[in-house]
Amino acid sequence: MIPGILSSLIFIVTLYLIFSEKLNRTIASLAGAVLMVGLGLIFGFYSEEQAIATVDFNTIGLLLGMMIIVSILEPTGFFQYLAILVGKHSNGKPVLLLVLLGTITTVVSMFLDNVTTIVLIAPVTILICEILGLNPQPYLMAEAILSDTGGVATLIGDPPNILIGSAAGLSFVDFLTHSLPIVVVVWLVALAMLRYLFRKDLSQTPTNLDALEELNPGSALIDRKTAIKVICVIALAILFFLLEEILHIRPALISLSAASIALVWVRPSIQETLKRIQWDVLLFFVALFILIGGLQAAGVMQVLAGLIAQEKNLPPMLLGLILLWGVAILSAFVDNVPVTIALIPIIQGLGSAGIPTTPLWWALVFGTGFGGNGTIIGSTANIVVASLSEKTKFPITPKVWNKKGLPVMLGTCLVASILYILLFNWLK
């Protein structure tokens, strides 16, 4: 009884600190994890060995490998190059510019970290808009919203997907066959809604088309050779992700192998490369795993499973929809990684109570992914574009986001729900 109460208390307080942003999430979770192991030792419910065994090194390895690859690619100017290239191809037509910038950001962030992608593409977007005398708001918001939406389509597109994939045993191919079709439709709906909501701004006539013509993408690509090498490595990694099930290898090995190949081939300064790794994110994940492991060791999960088992009569489809919307609303206001990590043991609890969990995992994927579009703080990408826009004449305020972003979130979640119902048997 005492272990259960203590571990739940540590977990709830840590989550509260993270969600209320009273403490940095990595600091809060690390302190919580250490406390969990310490009290676990004293009260005999959690050992150091158990704590280390709870860390899902598949998730950590996959994230680390992809971060190293992005870190090598970042200084080559590849991201800026892409943005300038599509900017020029738009010929200054606002709608085309929105579609092209949104598409390129989405495609890149389906495979690479979407925060890095946004951080590098958004300033170029502001540049293109300022040169053309356009309001950058629609383009910046489209990049954030569309890349977050597109990230749902792949195993490596978004950290919650990696967590869910690892916990539920969903592979890269599973994501392509189950999530991608739904995301394509939802993405197009999001694009159409943005087009409609920003119709006024998108009917602006751009000026100074010559200045756009004169942008030179080639000189933004500072290190062409390295960029080509890294892209080859990414292509190779994707190929192996597709063959994952046939070759019986885990995504972490593929991602770390790709990172090693890239490091050997490019031989960048390792200090500089590792400096750009988001160590705080990795540490945050490790600490959260240890926290959840403590809850499991203390028997809280079994109690939870018992409680939910009483609600067994709820139709699975309804349960999925409740989960999708509940998670979406939560993710609109708080970081979706702790939401995901907190819900994983709950869904596992449902599984041990005999409820089929596969459709629930997909509901979690869609909820965490699409929900983040709802508010200006819903995802890191949103926060990044909003803070960059503050330096322009057209800052994206919470009010602007509620007017344009929230309807998109509601629309995409609605479409996702309809598709979830229609394809429920396939998702099972």
Q: Which residues sit at the interface with other proteins, rule CB under 8 A?
A: 77, 80, 84, 123-124, 126-127, 130-133, 206-208, 210-212, 214-220, 222, 388, 391-393
The CA distance from 426 to 304, in Å, is 28
Q: How far apart are CA 151 and CA 366, in angstroms?
A: 10
Residue 20 to residues 28, 190, 381: CA-CA distances in angstroms? 11, 29, 19
H/E stretch holding 55 reads none
Smallest distance from the beta carbon of 132 to other proteins, in angstroms? 6
Q: Kindly state the tokens that stand for 273.
A: 């490369």
Q: Which is nearer to other proteins, 159 or 217 (CB)?
A: 217
Q: Report CA-CA distances (Å) from 367 to 30, 138, 322, 371.
A: 26, 24, 10, 6
What residues contact residue 23 under an 8 Å CB cut-off, 6+ apart? 17, 31
Shortest distance (Å) from residue 391 CB to other proteins: 4
Lookup: tokens for 133: 């005398």
Q: Nearest approach, Cβ of 273 to other proteins (angstroms)?
A: 18
- Closest CB 146 distance from other proteins, rounded Å: 21
User: Considering beta carbons, is residue 223 or 351 the nearer one to other proteins?
Assistant: 223
49 or 210: CB nearest other proteins: 210
20 vs 205, beta carbon nearer other proteins:
205
Instruction: State which residue, 24 or 208, has the beta carbon closest to other proteins.
Output: 208
Q: How far is the CB of 133 from other proteins (least distance, A)?
A: 3
Smallest distance, other proteins to C-beta of residue 134, A: 8
Half-sphere exposure for 252 (CA within 13 Å, toward CB): 10
Task: Name the minimum Å distance from CB 210 to other proteins.
Answer: 7
Closest CB to other proteins among residues 85, 283: 85
**With respect to other proteins, which residue has the nearer C-beta, 84 or 330?**
84
Total H helices, total E strands in the chain: 24, 0
Residue count of the chain:
428
Q: Residue for token digits 């690892």?
A: 166
Q: Tell me how far apart the alpha carbons of residues 136 and 131 are, in angstroms, rounded to a whole number.
A: 11
Cβ neighbours around 66 below 10 Å, total: 22
- For residue 203, the 8-state DSSP code is G
User: For the chain, how far is it from start to end, CA to CA, in angstroms?
Assistant: 36
DSSP string, 327-366: HHHHHHHS-HHHHHHHHHHHHHHHHHTT---HHHHHHHHH
Nearer residue to other proteins within complex by CB, 222 or 422:
222
Closest distance between other proteins and the C-beta of residue 223, in Å? 12
